[in-house]
C-alpha cells in the first residue's frame, strides 16, 4: 500500500485482563459537534466547484447513467474523502489552478463506484435511509454504472497528467478491490483473526482515505516526508472510521444510522466486535456464533443476544477504544505541519469520525 504507515494493534485490556473502556477525550481534543461544518466552511468554494465537476462529469447520453449515479452520490454521505483532499492541499499551501478540484471529483467517483459494487455484493437494500441503487434499478445497472464511474475517474487522472497521481490513485483502486475480495474470504469464517480483519479494512476503507490526503500534498508539490505524513494520517483515520462503522452496526439508532442495524450480523460479516466476542466466548457462546455466522441459521432474537454477548465481553467498547488509538496515530501524523486552521480542522475530523452517531 505504498507509503501506508505500519500500525501496531494494542491489546486493549487493562492490568486485570478485562476489556478496557474507551479513553475519555481530553478537553484539548474533545470532539466538536460542528467539526465537519468547520472543515466544510474552510473549503466551501472548492467544495462547490467539486460538486459542479461531479455533476458535469456524470453527464451521458444514456439517461440511466446520471440518474442512477446521482441517486448513489446523493445518498453517499458527506463526501468526506474529496473534502480531505481539498483540505490537505490547502494546508500544504496549494493556491493555484483546479487540479485539486478535479482530483477530488475523481476520488468521489472511485468511492461511489465501490459503493455501487459493494451494495450488489452485499445485497444491501438501504443506504443513508434511501433504497440502494441495486434495489431500484437492479444489479446489472448498478454494476455497469459503477464501471462507468471508474472510467470517468481514470479519464480525470490522465487529464491531470501526473504519473505520480495516476500511480497513487490506481494503486488505491486496486487495493480496494483486493480488500473486497479479502472480505469475501473472511465472510462467515470465525477463524478470522484480528490481523486478517485489519488487513481487510486497511484495504477496502483506509486506502482511499490515504490516497486522497496524499494527493493533496502531491498537487501542492510538497516533499516525500509530507506526502508520507498525510498518507499516514489518511490510513489511520480510515481504519478508525471503519472500526466505528462496525461498532455502530450493533449499537446505533437505525433512523440515525440510515441503514438497517444488524446488517453485518445478518450477512455473517466477521468484524472486530464479532472476532473479539468469539475469542472470549465459552463453548455454549461459540456454538451460538457458529450457528449464526457460519451456518447462517438465525432467529429474530439472535441479534439481541449477539449484542448482549458483546456487552458482556466489552467488545463494542473495545472496538471504539481501538478506533481512538488509530485516531491518535492520525493526529500524531499531522504534527509535522505548522499550526493552521486547516490542520486544526483535519484534527477535528478525527474526533468527528470517532464520535459520530451515523
Which tens digits make up the pLDDT trace of 57-116?
Answer: 988 889 889 888 888 777 656 789 999 999 999 999 998 789 999 999 999 999 999 988
User: In this prediction, what percent of the chain has a pLDDT beyond 90?
Assistant: 65
* Nine cell digits for residue 105: 471529483
From its phi and psi, is residue 352 left (phi > 0), alpha (psi between -120 and 50) or beta?
Answer: alpha
Say yes or no to pLDDT of 20 above 60: no
What value does the mean pLDDT take over residues 293-303?
94
* Nine cell digits for residue 85: 483532499
Q: What is the 3-state secondary structure (H, E, C) of the chain?
A: CCCCCCCCCCCCECCCCCECCCCCCCHHHCCCCCHHHHHHHHCHHHHHHHHHHHHHHCCCCCCHHHHHHHHHHHCCCCCHHHHHHHHHHHHCCCCCCCHHHHHHHHHHHHHHHHHHHHHHHHCCCEECCEECHHHHHCHHHHHHHHHHHHHHHHHHHHHHCCHHHHHHHHHHHHHHHHHHHHHHHHCCCCCCCHHHHHHHHHHHHHHHHHHHHHHHHHHCCCCHHHHHHHHHHHHHHHHHHHHHHHHHHHHCCHHHHCCCCCHHHHHCCCCHHHHHHHHCCCHHHHHHHHHHHHCCCCCCCHHHHHHHHHHHHCHHHHHHHHHHHHHHHHHHHHHHCCCCHHHHHHHHHHHHHHHCCC
Dist CA 36 CA 352 (whole Å): 7
pLDDT for 326 equals 98
Higher pLDDT, 7 or 139: 139
Q: 237-289: per-residue pLDDT in tens? A: 999 999 999 999 998 665 555 556 788 898 889 999 999 999 999 999 999 99
Q: Where are the domains of the chain?
A: 30-355
The values of phi and psi at residue 130, to 5°, are -115, 150
pLDDT for 4 equals 36
What value does the mean pLDDT take over residues 137-153?
90
pLDDT for 254 equals 56
pLDDT for 137 equals 77
Kindly report which listed range (79-88, 112-121, 171-180) carries the lowest average pLDDT score: 112-121
Q: What CATH number was assigned to the domain covering residues 30-355?
A: 1.10.600.10
Say yes or no to pLDDT of 191 above 60: yes
First to last CA, the chain: 28
Over its C-alpha atoms, the chain yields an Rg (Å, rounded) of 20
pLDDT for 126 equals 64
What value does the mean pLDDT take over residues 138-153?
90
Dist CA 38 CA 32 (whole Å): 9
Identify the top-confidence range among 1-10, 61-70, 246-255, 326-335: 326-335
User: In this prediction, what percent of the chain has a pLDDT beyond 70?
Assistant: 85
Say yes or no to pLDDT of 323 above 50: yes
Banded model confidence at residue 121, pLDDT cuts 50, 70, 90:
confident
Say yes or no to pLDDT of 136 above 90: no
Q: 39-73: per-residue pLDDT in tens? A: 999 999 999 999 999 999 988 889 889 888 888 77
Say yes or no to pLDDT of 213 above 60: yes
Which positions ≥6 away from 219 have C-beta within 8 Å?
Answer: 89, 94, 99, 100, 103, 165
pLDDT for 2 equals 35
pLDDT for 261 equals 78
Burial 240-258 (b: 16+ CB within 10 A, else e): bbbbbbbbbbbbbeeeebb
Say yes or no to pLDDT of 27 above 90: no
pLDDT for 318 equals 95
Q: What does pLDDT average to over the chain?
A: 86
Count CA atoms closer than 13 A to 210's CA, side-chain side: 31
Amino acid at each position: 500500500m505504498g507509503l501506508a504507515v505500519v500500525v501496531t494493534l494494542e491489546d486493549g485490556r487493562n492490568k486485570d485482563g478485562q476489556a478496557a473502556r474507551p479513553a475519555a477525550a481530553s478537553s484539548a481534543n474533545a470532539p466538536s459537534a460542528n467539526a465537519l461544518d468547520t472543515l466544510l466552511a474552510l473549503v466551501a468554494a472548492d467544495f462547490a466547484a467539486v460538486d459542479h465537476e461531479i455533476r458535469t462529469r456524470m453527464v451521458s447520453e444514456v439517461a440511466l447513467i446520471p440518474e442512477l449515479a446521482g441517486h448513489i452520490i446523493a445518498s453517499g454521505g458527506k463526501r468526506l474523502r474529496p473534502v480531505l483532499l481539498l483540505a490537505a492541499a490547502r494546508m500544504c499551501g496549494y493556491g493555484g489552478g483546479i487540479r485539486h478540484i478535479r482530483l477530488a471529483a475523481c476520488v468521489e467517483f472511485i468511492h461511489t463506484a465501490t459503493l455501487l459494487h459493494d451494495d450488489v455484493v452485499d445485497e444491501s437494500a438501504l443506504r443513508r435511509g434511501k433504497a440502494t441503487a441495486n434495489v431500484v434499478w437492479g444489479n446489472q445497472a448498478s454494476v455497469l454504472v459503477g464501471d462507468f464511474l471508474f472510467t470517468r475517474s481514470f479519464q480525470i487522472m490522465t487529464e491531470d497528467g501526473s504519473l505520480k497521481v495516476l500511480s497513487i490513485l490506481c494503486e488505491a483502486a486496486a487495493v480496494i478491490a483486493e480488500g473486497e475480495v479479502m472480505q469475501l474470504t473472511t465472510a462467515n469464517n470465525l477463524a478470522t483473526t484480528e490481523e486478517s480483519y485489519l488487513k481487510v479494512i486497511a484495504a477496502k476503507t483506509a486506502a482511499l482515505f490515504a490516497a486522497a490526503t496524499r494527493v493533496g500534498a502531491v498537487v501542492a508539490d510538497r516533499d516525500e516526508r509530507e506526502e508520507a505524513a498525510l498518507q499516514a494520517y489518511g490510513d489511520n483515520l480510515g481504519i478508525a472510521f471503519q472500526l466505528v462503522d462496525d461498532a455502530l452496526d450493533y449499537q446505533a439508532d437505525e433512523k440515525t444510522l440510515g441503514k438497517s442495524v444488524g446488517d453485518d450480523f445478518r450477512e455473517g460479516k466477521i468484524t472486530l466486535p464479532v472476532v473479539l466476542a468469539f475469542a472470549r466466548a465459552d463453548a455454549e457462546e461459540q456454538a451460538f456464533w457458529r450457528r449464526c455466522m457460519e451456518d447462517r441459521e438465525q432467529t429474530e432474537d439472535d441479534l439481541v443476544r449477539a449484542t448482549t454477548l458483546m456487552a458482556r465481553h466489552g467488545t463494542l467498547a473495545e472496538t471504539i477504544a481501538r478506533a481512538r488509538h488509530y485516531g491518535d496515530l492520525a493526529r500524531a501524523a499531522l504534527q509535522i505541519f505548522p499550526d493552521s486552521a486547516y490542520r486544526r480542522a483535519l484534527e477535528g475530523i478525527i474526533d468527528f469520525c470517532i464520535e459520530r452517531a451515523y
